[in-house]
Structure 1
């Protein structure tokens, strides 16, 4: 007979997570309510995780092919790496929740505990990396609009490279203190009568202090700062696009008048269209990020309430489903940027088609 309990908790970085603790050795293909329900979020999570691994691999390859003469390519490449890692961690985390995987004979580790330590605990830090890179990309586009003649002297290729490295270091560094809470080591499981690799609590007295610091630093401050930057810059870029559209309409009318009178225009509409396409692409990426992370962000902002809710609903499978679908919603953002780049970015589409041996149709 199988007895299975489920703990729902908010981890150190402020992101929701799920831990399944099996109190007796489960039979293969257990028919518990949780195992039956988990198939619903696991299917989209697995789909978008695998899709994200493919699309972000393509993103990395295409941006490397495009070269690094433009700062935007460096930022987009860094974002693709972050999204790839996020999808990889998501795939690993929920793979370990699949009953068939958990019940594989002779596994040298306890799947759900290892997934919690190496996947669930790490992924929020990687997500914050993507958030700050997205914020930097939107901020750069805003500077291109506000300071078009100076931005290339302010945001240079070395500055962009250093910024990407700093973002990765600042957002991932807090994870280095995770061993203060829990370490990975050999652990005896009485119900299995086995010693497996699992999560070993440290019982460190300073652990609660680190927990509070990291929770508010990564969970609140990092994410809140990134979202504010993305929101403000996206609104500014949307307004800029609207003004640009009105300007292009007026210039089109002016060009028609000049053509009828035999005059020529000194404007370069192709450059304007190129800049507008880039702004549009950034706006779409930023909007996708905000929308996909909105449910999880709300959960983090009501963290004390969420903790109380988790304690009261610790064995409620439907609570776990809610958290899982929030997780799946975030993975959508990590996996669809390739399609945004391809549909809007002319250079990206050309580089991709050349890479796979396709010819690009003539376009202006």
Structure 2
């Protein structure tokens, strides 16, 4: 019985490895990581640095500005490490005789740091959605509940907790000198500690599945509450208000609904694939660089592309849907005077 299971496992392994050949894998990784992620990470890095500058100029006395700046900072570092990972997958760097195996080293040097900051993005996004939900549900108490100081504390804690949750991965995945027969030389590569399986059975699902899906749940639940409450208020105001004010208030409510819906939808679409892949890694231990190498890297390359898109388009969302951000952006980068009439 055990021999039969072993044969089936080996057959599954060979099938999955042959499903994506090395040639196809190299093409997909070059397109996704080098071309798409490389380009998007540069644009995303520049865009989020601009976001940080704008929010700093707008002031950090407002809780929303604090959380949005924290989100931009997380995106900045996320794009830096994605750019580093893009360089590791570049064939030019792989063929210049570097003393380490780029495909293995990038997993810890680029991949996991990038994931840490994208997870921070998830938690700050959840907090922003929660804050706006409180703003609609308890408008008279929101300023006493969500203050700028408390928001700063949450943002800092989000960075620290996520970094701490990822620390075990840097313990079980270590760098050592390894001999590579195909290159006939020793290189610095990835080595897994002996107790990796026992260690990751607990830490991996907790840190990479539960925490990630909890952030998703907060975003989804709070967004649903927010949209329902705003729709209720819009209908009530449309009936009770008079004259031109009806359209004005209704338009403002619809604008908030549109912004929150777009932000949450972009977040969910962009981060759902990586959440699914983490679940797959927790369930199937061979779904790892040491196992289904080709499948692992190809699927993650598509997930990283979507995450890069999400980090890049935030500047467009802010510019189009926030008049204060737009005015400060134009004043900062195009030297336009801020209109203080309104």
TM-score interval w.r.t. the shorter chain? 0.7 to 0.9
- How do 1:331-342 and structure 2 match up within 5 A? 331-342=308-319
Q: Quote the residue 1:23 is aligned against.
A: none
1:13 matched residue in structure 2: none
Q: 1 CA distance for matches of 2:76 and 2:240?
A: 42
Are the equivalent residues in 1 in contact too, given 2:67–2:124 (CA < 8 A)?
Answer: yes
TM-score scaled by length of structure 2: 0.81
Provide closer, same or farther for how the CA distance between residues 281 and 310 of structure 1 changes in structure 2, counting only shifts above 3 A: same
CA–CA separation in structure 2 for the residues paired with 1:228 and 1:81: 23
Q: Contact conserved, 2:320 with 2:326, CA < 8 A, in 1? A: yes
The answer to whether residue 226 in structure 2 is matched with residue 237 in structure 1 is yes
Distance between the aligned counterparts of 1:301 and 1:219, measured in 2?
Answer: 8
Give 1:196 deviation, angstroms.
4.2
Q: Deviations over 1:1-32 (max 9, x none)?
A: xxxxxxxx9xxxxxxxxxxxxxxxxxxxxx94
1:186–1:309 CA distance, 2 compared to 1 (3 A): closer
Residue 34 in structure 1 maps to residue 22 in structure 2: no
Q: Contact 1:71–1:156 at 8 Å: present in 2 too?
A: yes
Q: Quick one: structure 1 residues 308 and 363, their matched pair in 2 at CA, closer, same or farther if it must change by over 3 Å?
A: farther
Matched, 1:213 2:202: yes
| Residue range with higher mean Cα deviation, 237-246 or 157-166 | 237-246
Question: Size of the alignment, in residue pairs?
Answer: 320
For 1:69-218, list aligned pairs within 5 A: 69-105=61-97, 107-187=98-178, 189=180, 191-192=182-183, 194-203=185-194, 205=195, 207-218=196-207
Tell me the equivalent position of 2:243: 255
> Would you say the 8 A contact 2:74–2:121 is kept in 1?
yes
**What stretches of structure 1 of length at least 5 have no aligned partner?**
1-8, 10-30, 257-264
Contact 1:292 1:333 in 2 (8 A): yes
The match for 2:321 is 344
**Which of the two has greater helix per residue?**
2
* Deviation of 1:157 (Å): 1.6
Return the structure number with greater relative CO, CA threshold 8 A, min gap 6. 1
State whether residues 166 and 207 of structure 2, in contact with CA within 8 Å, keep that contact through their aligned partners in structure 1.
no
> What SS class does the counterpart of residue 140 from structure 2 fall into?
coil
**Does the alignment pair 1:45 with 2:34?**
no
Q: Quote the Cα distance in structure 1 between the aligned partners of 2:225 and 2:111.
A: 35
Counterpart of 2:10 in structure 1 is: none
What is the CA deviation profile of residues 208-232 of structure 1, one whole-angstrom value per residue up to 9, with x for unaligned ones? 2321222111222101111111001
Q: Is the 8 A contact 2:280 2:287 kept in 1?
A: no
**Secondary structure, aligned partner of 2:260:** helix
Distance (whole Å) between structure 2 residues aligned to residue 177 and residue 34 of structure 1 = 29
TM-score for the superposition, normalised by structure 1:
0.76
Say yes or no: does 1:62 pair with 2:51. no
What residue number does 1:15 align with? none
Q: Call closer, same or farther: CA 1:302–1:139 in 2, change over 3 Å.
A: same
Q: 1:291 to 1:182 in 2, by over 3 A?
A: closer
Q: Go from structure 1 to structure 2 and tell me whether the alpha carbon gap of 1:306 and 1:51 turns closer, same or farther (over 3 Å shift).
A: farther
**8 Å CA contact 2:281, 2:287 repeated in 1:** no
Measured in 2, the distance between the counterparts of 1:240 and 1:85 equals: 35
Deviation per CA, 1:232-275: give whole Å up to 9, x if none. Answer: 111111223323433443355x236xxxxxxxx9x9x67x8767
User: Structure 2: how far apart are the matches of 1:188 and 1:310?
Assistant: 20
1:87–1:143: structure 2 CA closer, same or farther, 3 Å change rule?
Answer: same
Residues of 1 paired with 2:134 and 2:254: CA distance?
14
Superposed CA offset, 1:89-144 (max 9, x none): 22222321121221124x24332222111112232222221111111111111111
